[in-house]
Structures are given as C-alpha cells and as structure tokens.
Amino acid sequence: MPNPKRRHSKARRDKRRAHDALRVPQTTLCPNCREPRMPHRVCPKCGHYKGREIVQVEQS
C-alpha cells in the first residue's frame, strides 16, 4: 500500500474540508397557521399541506 512521501500542508487539508460545513435547515411559513416548517412537508403544528388537512393533530 503506498504511503505519502511528503506531509500535506494545512492549507491543502483545509481546502479539501471547505465543503464539510453543516448548513441551517431551510424553513418556510405554513400558510395555514404561520408556523415555520420544512418545505414540501406536512406542517407538524396544524397537519396541513397544500391547503388540505393531511394529518389530524391533537390540539393542546
């Protein structure tokens, strides 16, 4: 198995890791209850998606 002949620099290592950062998940406002939710998913607060009630959520 080949081994590296020279040590890689910190700049070369950091260039490789430039795309490894985590991003904050994007949210949109639910048109029914105005709560933040993930796009293209049923709202966890009211259970609506595309103007229809998909899941019945217990109100507390």
Q: Are 27 and 35 in contact (CB under 8 A)?
A: no
- pLDDT for 5 equals 94
Q: pLDDT tens, 3-60?
A: 999 999 999 999 999 999 999 999 999 999 999 999 999 999 999 999 889 988 887 6
- pLDDT for 60 equals 61
Helices (H), the chain: 10-16
Rounded to whole angstroms, the Cα distance separating 51 from 45 reads 14
Reduced to 3 states, what is the DSSP secondary structure of residue 16? helix
Instruction: Give the domain ranges of the chain.
Output: 25-51
